[in-house]
Each structure stands twice: as C-alpha cells, then as structure tokens.
C-alpha cells in the first residue's frame, strides 16, 4: 500500500497523528522515519528501503556518524547562542529546548551516548565554558565572532579611558585640597593669652574703632568698658574665620566624597577574578583533596572563570568564581583591589578589623600612591602572588 497523496484526507489524518514528539526507540535516523508503535517500526526495519540504507551505512559508517554528530552539535550551539547568548545556563535546559522541535537530530545517532559526554566534548574543543556543580553541568557559549570580539575590546578600552579620567580628576581635587590647606595656614592669625607681668602696672588700651557719630556721643567709655569691648571684638573675629575655614573644608570633602561614589559605581562589577592573585577553593564538588586549598589565578576566562594553579603543588584547575573566595593576608603584605572604587590598584594591608569584616589598605602604585583607604570589605581585596 503506497503513501497517501498530499492534500487527501488520509494524508491529513497521518499528519495529525504524527503531530508532536514520538518515542525515540521507534525512530530510524538513516531513513528519517518516525513510527508510532512497535509494530510499525518492525515493519519498517523489514522493508527494502531500510535494508538499502543499512548497506550504505555499513560501507562508510564513520562518515554518517561524523555528519550526524556535526549536525547535532551545530544545532545545539545555534540554539544556545540565539536563546541564551553568553549567559551561564544548565546544559539539560538547552537540550530540552533543542529536542522540543520534532525535526531535530537525535543524540543516539551521534558519537556521544550521553549528554555529559557531549558537554565535556564542548569544553575540550573550546566551544563552550563548562563546569560541574551539585545541580549538574552548566555551559557558557564562547562567542568567537570577530564583530563581537571587536565590540568587547572597544568596551574594555572605553572603561580604561573612563578610569583614567576619574584618576586625573581625583589628582586635581587632591592638589586643590593641599593648596587650600597651605593658603589657610599662611593667612591664619595666631592669638596668645594675655598675661600681666605686675599687678601694679597700669593697663592702657588704644582702640581705633570706626563708630557711627551718634553712638560715640551716647557712650562714655572707661578702661573697663574698653577692655570688655575689645575682648568681644576679638572673640567675634576669632569665631568668624574658623567658620569660613570649616565651610571650605566641608565643600572639598563633599566633592571628594562625590567623586568616590562615582568611581565606586563605575568600578563595582559582578565579576572580580584577576590574574596574579591568590584565592581559596571553597567548593566540595572536586572532593576533599582540593577543598580549602589555595591557588594562584593564572588566566581569566570570560570574566567569570579562571585557570588556577595550586600554590603547593603543580596542579592546574579551571574553576568558576563561585567556587573560590579572596584571601586576606597579614598586615604589611601586598594586596590587589579586585572590586570597588579602586579596582585594579595594588596596595599594602595596614590594619584588620575582624569585628566589621573590613580592613585599611594603603595604595602603593600609580597616581594615588600613599592614599589610605579605610573600611575596605574583605571580598574587595585579595592577597597578591609573589613572583
């Protein structure tokens, strides 16, 4: 019995029955035919067309398996790139979306028997960044498109230029603060306590005060009144100047605080891994052998992962930033800012505040050398590896 012609009621009925996903064990990849039950699949395997396809497959089996594997990997990666981009996503989530299309190529026709083997192959080939957690395997697509790489490089260059502009602005503000301090010190009048050397000595004061004519006519000053008035004038003069000084310093402090907030907002990111720092492995998925071990970050991969090397033995690992944490050294050791306003700066750890989980760091390189940054959170700095 031949196939029903296109457009006939029999053809439409067969299409409606075949709608949606069918059981994988009743699908023939060589013939690309999906059977609805075991009897139909058995009849198909006994047909002449299926036998001819098996003979073709037997002549060059590796060719067909390679083609099926390439088609499956291309479809999986295309869906991963289009739907999730460069976001980290569960591998099985992408696979379920891939097989939702009833015309997809089945995995049992490829060189991989399980999804885990396929995910490991993606990691070895460098097509994706893969990592295993307690919830399973996660994949992150590696976009190697020249246009995407160029845009990322332009973004990094722009961030660097913005950072340089902020440093120049901070340097200018620092110079203005120092200049204001010098001017205030030079123009400041010093007052000393008045002491009489002898009680027999007569006190005479000469006041050259500009007064209105009517006020002078009504007041009869005497030595005591002059002394009290003179003291009042001095008190007013001494209280006015520090008030102006205080307002000047308050304005400068406010400008500096505003710049600090702007720099903190620009440099605060959700990724912090940096080359050359020491981190501690905190994940137990690798076993007790690597738990709580320290390692040096040798290379950062896609901002959120890194290749690390253990500090006490030549073992290299690839870890996600969620699997490691920063290391806080003892005071006097070199550290690097990995996040926050001073991201990328190198400094010396001066003091630790274990109650507040913060510390004080003095910047040791660049334009801000010598600046003491107080209240730095533990997760914003990490110990610097010695060369």
- For 218-248, write each residue's pLDDT tens digit: 444 444 444 444 544 445 555 545 545 555 5
71, burial (CB in 10 Å: exposed 0-12, middle 13-18, buried 19+): middle
Tell which wins on pLDDT, 183 or 135: 135
Kindly report the average pLDDT of the chain as a whole number: 78
Mean pLDDT value across residues 335-363: 91
Confidence class for position 206, pLDDT limits 50, 70, 90: low
Question: Taking residues 124-140, what's their average pLDDT?
Answer: 89
CB-based contacts of 358, cutoff 8 Å, min separation 6: 375, 376, 377, 378
Length of the chain: 387
The more confidently predicted of residues 146 and 223 is: 146
Looking at residue 198, what is its pLDDT?
58
pLDDT at 160 over 60: yes
Copy the structure tokens of residue 309. 């090397």
Percentage of residues in the chain with pLDDT exceeding 70? 77
* Cα–Cα distance, 164 to 148 (Å, whole number): 25
What residues does each domain of the chain span? 19-141, 278-383
pLDDT tens-digit readout, 281-309: 998 888 888 888 999 999 998 889 999 99
- 10 Å Cβ neighbour count for 57? 14
User: Average of pLDDT values for 14-36?
Assistant: 67
pLDDT at 83: 87
The answer to whether residue 90 scores a pLDDT higher than 60 is: yes
- What pLDDT does residue 23 have? 64
pLDDT at 88 over 80: yes
CA–CA distance, 61 with 69 (Å, rounded to integer): 12
CATH number given to 278-383: 2.30.30.30
**Average pLDDT for 20-41:** 71
- How many CB atoms within 10 Å of residue 42? 11
Question: What is the separation of C-alpha 19 from the centre of its chain, rounded to a whole number of angstroms?
Answer: 46
Report whether 300 contacts 273 (CB < 8 A).
Answer: yes
**pLDDT surpasses 60 at 141:** yes
Tell me the average pLDDT across 40-44: 79
Phi-psi region of 336 (alpha: psi -120 to 50; beta: other; left: phi over 0): beta
pLDDT on residue 349: 93
Out of 1.10.10.2030, 2.40.170.20, 2.40.160.20, 3.40.50.1100, the CATH code matching 19-141 is 1.10.10.2030
93-107, 184-198, 266-280: least confidently modelled range: 184-198
Is pTM beyond 0.85? Reply is no
- What's the pLDDT band for 280 if we cut at 50, 70, 90? very high
Query: Containing H/E element for 75?
Result: helix 61-84
pLDDT, position 217: 40
Give the pLDDT mean for 166-170.
Answer: 80
User: Confidence class of residue 267 from pLDDT cuts 50, 70 and 90?
Assistant: confident
- What is the pLDDT averaged over residues 201-218? 56
């Amino acid at each position: 019995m031949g196939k029903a012609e296109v457009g006939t009621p029999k053809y439409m009925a067969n299409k409606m029955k075949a709608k949606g996903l069918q059981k994988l064990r009743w699908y023939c990849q060589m013939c690309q035919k999906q059977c609805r039950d075991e009897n139909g699949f058995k009849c198909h395997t006994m047909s002449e067309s299926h036998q001819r396809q098996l003979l073709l497959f037997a002549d060059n089996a590796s060719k067909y398996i390679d083609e099926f594997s390439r088609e499956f990997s291309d479809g999986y990666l295309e869906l991963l790139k289009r739907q999730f981009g460069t976001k980290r996503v569960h591998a099985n989530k992408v696979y379920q979306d891939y097989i939702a299309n009833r015309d997809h190529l089945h995995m049992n026709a490829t060189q991989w028997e399980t999804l885990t083997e396929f995910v490991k192959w993606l990691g070895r080939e460098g097509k994706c960044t893969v990592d295993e957690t307690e919830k399973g395997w996660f994949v992150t697509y590696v976009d190697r498109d020249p246009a995407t790489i160029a845009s990322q490089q332009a973004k990094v260059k722009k961030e660097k230029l913005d950072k340089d502009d902020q440093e120049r602005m901070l340097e200018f503000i620092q110079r203005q603060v120092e200049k204001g301090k010098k001017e205030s010190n030079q123009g400041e009048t010093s007052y000393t306590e008045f002491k009489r050397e002898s009680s027999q000595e007569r006190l005479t004061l000469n006041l050259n005060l500009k007064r209105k004519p009517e006020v002078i006519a009504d007041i009869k000053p005497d030595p005591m009144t002059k002394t009290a008035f003179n003291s009042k004038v001095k008190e007013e003069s001494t209280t006015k100047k520090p008030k102006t000084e205080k307002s000047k310093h308050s304005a400068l402090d406010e400008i500096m605080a505003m710049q600090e907030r702007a720099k903190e907002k620009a440099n605060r990111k959700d990724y912090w891994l940096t080359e050359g720092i020491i981190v501690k492995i905190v994940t137990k998925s690798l076993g007790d052998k690597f738990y709580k071990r320290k390692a040096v970050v040798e290379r950062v991969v896609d901002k959120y992962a890194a290749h690390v090397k253990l500090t006490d033995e030549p073992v290299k690992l690839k870890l996600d930033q969620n699997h490691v944490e920063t290391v806080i050294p003892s005071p006097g050791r070199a550290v690097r800012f990995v996040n926050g306003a001073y991201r990328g700066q190198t400094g010396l750890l001066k003091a630790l505040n274990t109650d507040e989980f913060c510390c004080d760091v003095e910047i040791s390189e660049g334009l801000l050398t010598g600046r003491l940054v107080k209240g730095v959170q533990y997760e914003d700095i990490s110990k610097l590896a010695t060369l």
